[in-house]
Copies of this chain bind each other. A is one copy, B any other.
């Protein structure tokens, strides 16, 4: 191999762009060095050296050793210490560093350069014999374990035996003698396993360590990892050799961590803490109380000034708030690490807005500085996490936000107390449409059964109320009006708190923080609106929902679920009457009554959304959902019969049961619902269409611009849509004729079953718009029902990494996303420019929104409370994937 190849780069010779040659870590250390940071000096051995090492049969390529020795000399000169020097020894760390970060690779070796002589130098310079000996002990262990394959547990056995003999519990309690004892035993262990004495020569230590790093590139772990992650085998790894620095050599030393801005509030002011005469881990360990970073100005004025300007430099260079680790060794400041600092959502927004104003970043960049998912934090009251919490149970985090209140087990009671101004939490095994009035007046809801799509969860999310569902730990006794959980028993009136973002249930009142939606937040989302091309609508079932939707910035309603209206307490009897009707007149009477209600609903929503489109989905769920539960009826009838109940009542219940039985389904999700109802009972959809158009005509007369979009659910074949579209158009024309008012409307369809997606070119012939229902599409594409999967095996799948994530939270791009892509392309092949959106929970998930943007959708729709998230996520997608 050519000897004039450069295999060794001092940090100052590299730069960020040289990742191929220096690896990721080496390139970054070089970058930091070159922007003027006082990084402990070091050198990087190139990936090329690693590859040639293998090419020539695991030998150092010609020239490498000479360059390494020269590099070490440069290092010694820079730091003023010498490798192997008895008073002032240079100690180094050795780390691997491939181009792509690989967790399967070699760990770090610290304190390389220590031996029986240099450890004396460390004792002198730190004035801490225990510390120096402990470093030596650790070095022997790390070197033996990581570089030479001496079994880790054998070291640990020696260590614990000595600790037992000394009757101490923690490492730092070991005496100097014990440490000498351990070091001696470690050396023996090393010799036993390697057949050679522990190397005392630092340069020899270094060569062995470098070979070990090269070797780790082809360890089994690393090969498997590369195979799994499709990383080429011929990249090779670099080796980083960096001088060690110590913050615990005396009072002119120290160590600390600081953020360039406040990570909780975003305020532009250094925020952090440090310790004098301490090591990095001491700050974290909490044995001594660190001082606020501002005190450093008194303690070490020069270092402080230096640090302030470095932190400014770093912010400018990385154009983001930095989280900086530093060490001061004998008055000299070293920067050990800098990275973008973690922050709360509120801080993230403030920092992004400030940095735009400071001219540091563009609005587009600002978008990427806030985690869209995190925005939830600022939209709901949240638990003050600085307070200790008594978590007594954990359920599913079904609807975000936190709330406290008295336990109530009954919807009527909840409504009563709520109206009296009392704060209550409704606790039920599960909720039904009969409980809605109680839910409305509660602070939140807790159920012991049901998943993320249970009635309680869906309704609570719609209302923006916290909900914890499927909390199986709690056992409710309605008769005694109490619930037990573990050792606790909570009676009606006892106060609990729930956190719908974590699923926690807590004893007593818990302090919460209110959301802040003005100022920076509004400005930030305003920019998001300027940047994004994807529309954002909200799902809304009532005029109140619609109002909220507008407040949160939704430009339309993407989904109005008419069944939620059917389930309201005063309407349900008429819905049941419609289902139970034995004559056409009886049925029409019920439908007429429902028509009134529905017209009122649609009038309210369309008015609230003046000038914006409102997509109204016709009835979707199977009719048996509106009737009493089958099992309960069976049990009740059996009980009535056994106990000689009223024959008339028994007969009535049996009639009801007969109807319930006739509507019973084995798989309701795959049953007689959606447009299948529309086809078999055309009068129901006809009534709904009439209600929509009568409301529209009424508003038009009043000078209010109403834009209804009639949506047909669960279509699998264009013929279904054609039939129902024609009926809808006929009714619209009738209403126009009757009222003498002209109005605009469209008729479109949900794409929520694979067949609709696969035949979208056909379906598009009859559709003015598509709206993806990806919850159902996920259920059918995966062949599992959300309730059953989440209740039974989905968590197991995710824990075992069978699935990477819950496909109901984020669209699976490989299946559902693929079908969506086909549907978009097929649909627009028939109708270029066809309006296509998505409604349902994925519409509020940032990753799914990015997928929707990439697929070319026109809008996403989500619950009102997620609209800000969607606005930001849509802007982020536009920034990430410019068109």
Query: Which A residues contact B (CB, under 8 angstroms)?
Result: 630-631, 634-635, 638-639, 642-643, 665-672, 676, 679-680, 714, 716-717, 719-720, 723, 752-755, 758-759, 762, 776, 779-785, 787-789, 792-793, 796-797, 800-803, 812, 814-815, 818-819
Task: Verify A723–B676 contact, CB threshold 8 A.
Answer: no
Chain B hits for A762, CB < 8 A: 814
Q: A754 CA to B639 CA in the complex, in Å?
A: 45
Chain B hits for A814, CB < 8 A: 755, 758-759, 762
Q: A668 CA to B671 CA in the complex, in Å?
A: 12
Chain B hits for A672, CB < 8 A: 788, 792-793
Shortest distance between the CB of A597 and any CB in chain B (Å): 26
Look across to chain B and name the residue whose beta carbon is closest to the beta carbon of A796: B680
Shortest distance between the CB of A541 and any CB in chain B (Å): 22
Chain B hits for A638, CB < 8 A: 635, 638-639, 642
Identify which of A631, A670, A759, A781 gathers the most chain B CB atoms within 10 Å of its CB: A670
Known interface pairs A676-B792, A758-B781; 12 further A-B residue pairs with C-beta atoms within 8 A, sorted by A's residue number: A630-B631, A665-B785, A666-B668, A667-B668, A667-B670, A667-B785, A670-B670, A679-B802, A680-B792, A716-B784, A753-B783, A754-B815
Q: A848 CA to B680 CA in the complex, in Å?
A: 28
Task: Verify A783–B680 contact, CB threshold 8 A.
Answer: no
Chain B hits for A812, CB < 8 A: 755
Identical copies in the complex = 2
Look across to chain B and name the residue whose beta carbon is closest to the beta carbon of A716: B782
Task: Verify B815–A666 contact, CB threshold 8 A.
Answer: no
Shortest distance between the CB of A356 and any CB in chain B (Å): 42
Task: Verify B782–A753 contact, CB threshold 8 A.
Answer: yes
Would you list 27 pairs from A and B whose C-beta atoms are within 8 A, ordered by A residue?
Answer: A634-B634, A635-B635, A635-B638, A642-B642, A665-B785, A666-B788, A669-B670, A671-B784, A671-B785, A671-B792, A672-B793, A676-B792, A676-B793, A679-B802, A714-B783, A720-B802, A723-B802, A752-B783, A753-B781, A755-B782, A755-B812, A758-B781, A758-B814, A758-B818, A758-B819, A776-B783, A780-B783
Task: Verify B666–A785 contact, CB threshold 8 A.
Answer: yes
Chain B hits for A717, CB < 8 A: 802-803
Shortest distance between the CB of A113 and any CB in chain B (Å): 46
Task: Verify A803–B719 contact, CB threshold 8 A.
Answer: yes
Chain B hits for A800, CB < 8 A: 679, 723
Q: A752 CA to B788 CA in the complex, in Å?
A: 18
Shortest distance between the CB of A228 and any CB in chain B (Å): 12
Chain B hits for A667, CB < 8 A: 667-670, 785, 787-788
Q: A749 CA to B346 CA in the complex, in Å?
A: 50
Shortest distance between the CB of A878 and any CB in chain B (Å): 28
Shortest distance between the CB of A671 and any CB in chain B (Å): 4
A780 partner, pick from B665, B781, B789, B818, beta carbons under 8 A:
B781
Q: Known: A667-B788, A783-B714. Is A793-B680 also a contact (CB below 8 A)?
A: yes
Shortest distance between the CB of A787 and any CB in chain B (Å): 5
A783 partner, pick from B666, B679, B754, B793, beta carbons under 8 A:
B754
Shortest distance between the CB of A529 and any CB in chain B (Å): 35
Q: A33 CA to B643 CA in the complex, in Å?
A: 87
